[in-house]
Chain A
Amino acid sequence: MDNVIWIIPLLPLVGFLINGLVGRRLPDRLVAIIGVSLPVASFFIAVWSFLELLKLGDEGVLTSTLYTWIVSGDFVVNLTFRFDQLSAVMALVVSGVGSAIHLYSAGYMHDDKSFSRYFSYLNLFLFSMLVLVLAEDLVLLFLGWEGVGLCSYLLIGFWFDDMENAKAGKKAFIVNRIGDLGFFVGMALIVITIGTLNVPEMKNLLEANPGLLTAGMATAITLFLFVGATGKSAQIPLYIWLPDAMAGPTPVSALIHAATMVTAGVYMIARLGFLYVLSPTTMIIVALIGSLTALYAATIGMAQNDIKKVLAYSTISQLGYMFMAVGVGAFASGIFHLMTHAFFKALLFLGAGSVIHAMSGEQDIRNMGGLRKKMPITFWTFLVATLTISGIPPLAGFFSKDEILWKAFSTHLGSIGILFWAIGLLSAVITAFYMFRLFFVAFTGESRASEDVKKHIHESPFSMTSVLILLGIFSVIGGFIGVPELLGGSNHFEHFLAPIFPHLGSRFDAHSAHTWEIILLALSLVAAASGIFLAYLMYVKKTDIPKVFVKKYNALYQLVYDKYRIDELYGAIFIRPFFVLGVIFSSIVDSWIIDGIVRIVTMATAKLGRLFMSFQGGDVRVYGRVLLGGLLLILIIVVFGRV
């Protein structure tokens, strides 16, 4: 406890305790002050720690051990927070974006009757997320991991008066829990093979004795952990909860379901990169799942009309990019995209929140339009974010996304990288298309809202717009810390993180790499531009094209609109059989077979009893006979027993 890292997660916890226990008796203003100031304070401590870390140089790391949490024989789990380069980035992003969204929430939620409950949950979330990123031990990481899942459950179901919200929350929690099961199994396998869950210790042990893990076991461990990541980060096949999670308040969607929690899976894989590189099979699977998710979610995004649903699918898609990055071994690029994504996706969600706030809760983009004049700040910041996600230089998204595509193409895993790259590029086109479709439909053209909604449309209060502007600035400049050498930058970001990650080669030599990189860069630009142009063509110039398209390929459109009916499929394959089996167990196996055996035994006893009862019919002579019979038996034993 020689430094103050442990205070970073502690402050939001204090906020949670105050707001959770006595918040209902405090005035809303005080609740907001507590709820916002503590995360901000924790952000400043994170910044201070970051500066300390910079002073320490490459190998520098700050740790702070509070106490021993679990101890069983040789297996020890310490409550240790570790502030190294990776956690520093994550802690800054989480506490920074988190504080911003707390501030935004103070405005957004100001008239909610459960204001203090909201802030206590949000503070608890920030605490859990900070524990997650600062944990040195996987068990502690799991504490944060489950904690964020819990907060996500509580916040999605925040307005639990509506059963749909509660159901969405439960779905999120349970699907997360399925992933957690995988994570847990992975942890257990690590314990029985390596013997510790302390990440640096694991790394040292593996370096000292590489024979500790067989290739098969490494694949099993990493795959199980990856199952956990797919649950938390909404990848195929466990992505289904995230679109439903949009039922929560919009700042929650921005913070949890876009900027921070859902990236926990990426962070975890990056943190355990040294394990993942032991198993190329897993790496390929991770990259493949990531790229497929990117494409798949993007296609669904094209057909959605709910503004938050579009953003949700876009989040899934962008997370797919990150997994592609970590899958091909470009951990730094994945984290870089994670960071830029946190900025622009939070901005998109908060912008959407601003719109929804103004439109009196309307979320369907077909009923919007023409918001440019009424909400200029929202409009401009939203435009910036949309450009960023589409990958237009020199905004942040361009650098991070392009780097992922290049790393995928040049991966050490071999020419399969070209496949990842191709899928990524296609997804980039689609992303640009549907994001601009959203933008054009919602913000330009004539307003399609009803009259009384129209009257209320107004720009959001300062507490909200200031956050939008702040995030907008970060979306613009955030990419410059990771400008690749090709474009004259020095890629500070990657160098900063270099001590954490394993170094994997590229399949090109330095010279040909340069040529390829330029070609790919150009192709990415073309892709982004074509996507935007297509959207412009279809939704601004010739607005009848979509209708014709829908008419012509109605079945396909419906399929995509219904999200490929995966929810229904899961329902039929997993959920219904589960309940049917439960009913069978309960009403047939338990009450007929198991209880039946018991009942047969009791019935047999009763029958036997009735049989014996006939000897006791009240007739003295029968008693006498039985008595005499017994006496004779004894006599026989006595008499002949002696012979």
Chain B
Amino acid sequence: MIEMIIFYPTAAIVILFSLMVVLHKSPIRSALFLLGTLFFMAFIFALLSAHFVAVIQILVYAGGIIVLILFAIMLLNLQKEDSEYDHISLGKVISLGLGGFLFLIISIVFFKMYPGHSSELPANFGTIEEVGRLMVTDYVFAFEAISLLIIASLVGGVVLVRGLINSKSKLKKLK
């Protein structure tokens, strides 16, 4: 019952916020709505007794990624895209259709594959210890691979922004 009381409002907020992310003219508002979406999503994670994931969600996403995006927006000083809202283009209608259809299909898939509840959860389900244990035992390889990926993206990010200064004129010519 409690679950229900928490789930429905939270889900409604998540859906509303995510719609705002997609639909709002101003990038900076979009970013803030995204922050909200992610925050409330963490609630739902918590509801699913994935406490560690919920915490990470807030820390990494809300704390890290969104801040990064906000920085970027401010750095670029982006304006509202007015032109986009003035008319309903064929592309938007098609996208809407495709999105709706995608939803339908995915829902059908989920309904068809309805998994039964396990009667009781194991005691250590979703605990930080358990997650940590799994990560360095069963999934240690993926864990290491991810760390490599982080290094790669780090290096990539630096190289991209640094190389820009040198090759700026070259790329302009190309255009």
Contacts and interface: CB of A to CB of B under 8 A. Distances in A.
Chain A in direct contact with chain B (Cβ < 8 angstroms): yes
Contacts of B49: none
A597 interface: no
A621 B92 CA distance: 10
Contacts of A628: 98, 102
A625 B102 contact: no
Contacts of B94: 625
A621 B91 contact: yes
Interface string B56-96: 00000000000000000000000000000000000100110
A216 interface: no
B109 A629 contact: no
A589 interface: no
Given A639-B105, A639-B109, A632 B91 contact: no
B108 interface: yes
B141 interface: no
B105 A625 contact: no
A173 B23 CA distance: 89
B98 A635 contact: no
A625 B94 CA distance: 8
A30 interface: no
B101 interface: yes
B98 A629 contact: yes
Contacts of B109: 635, 639
A66 interface: no
Interface in B98-113: 98, 101-102, 105, 108-109, 112
Interface size class of B (residues with CB under 8 A): 10 to 19
A299 B74 CA distance: 114
A622 interface: yes
A622 B98 CA distance: 12
B100 to A, nearest CB: 11
A558 to B, nearest CB: 84
B42 to A, nearest CB: 28
B91 A625 contact: yes
Nearest to A624: B95
Interface string A600-643: 00000000000000000000011001001100100110010000
A625 B95 contact: yes
A628 B102 CA distance: 8
A309 to B, nearest CB: 83
B108 A625 contact: no
Nearest to B92: A621
Interface string B104-124: 010011001000000000000
B95 A632 contact: no
Contacts of B91: 621-622, 625
Contacts of B102: 628, 632
Nearest to A636: B105
A629 B102 CA distance: 9
A184 B3 CA distance: 104
Contacts of A636: 105
Given A622-B91, A625-B91, A632 B101 contact: yes
A35 to B, nearest CB: 81
Contacts of B105: 632, 635-636, 639
Contact of B108 (A622, A629, A639): A639
A474 B108 CA distance: 115
A635 B106 CA distance: 9
Contacts of A625: 91, 94-95, 98
A629 B94 CA distance: 10
B50 to A, nearest CB: 27
Interface in A112-156: none
Nearest to B108: A639
A628 B109 CA distance: 17
B21 to A, nearest CB: 17
A622 B112 CA distance: 31
Nearest to A640: B108
A633 to B, nearest CB: 10
A410 B112 CA distance: 111
Nearest to B94: A625
B61 to A, nearest CB: 23
Nearest to A632: B101
A632 B98 contact: yes
Given A625-B91, A625-B98, A635-B105, 16 more contacts: A621-B91, A621-B95, A622-B91, A625-B94, A625-B95, A628-B98, A628-B102, A632-B98, A632-B101, A632-B105, A635-B109, A636-B105, A639-B105, A639-B108, A639-B109, A639-B112
21 contacts: A621-B91, A621-B95, A622-B91, A625-B91, A625-B94, A625-B95, A625-B98, A628-B98, A628-B102, A629-B98, A632-B98, A632-B101, A632-B102, A632-B105, A635-B105, A635-B109, A636-B105, A639-B105, A639-B108, A639-B109, A639-B112
Q: Which 7 A-B pairs have the closest CB atoms?
A: A635-B105, A628-B98, A625-B94, A632-B101, A639-B109, A625-B95, A625-B98
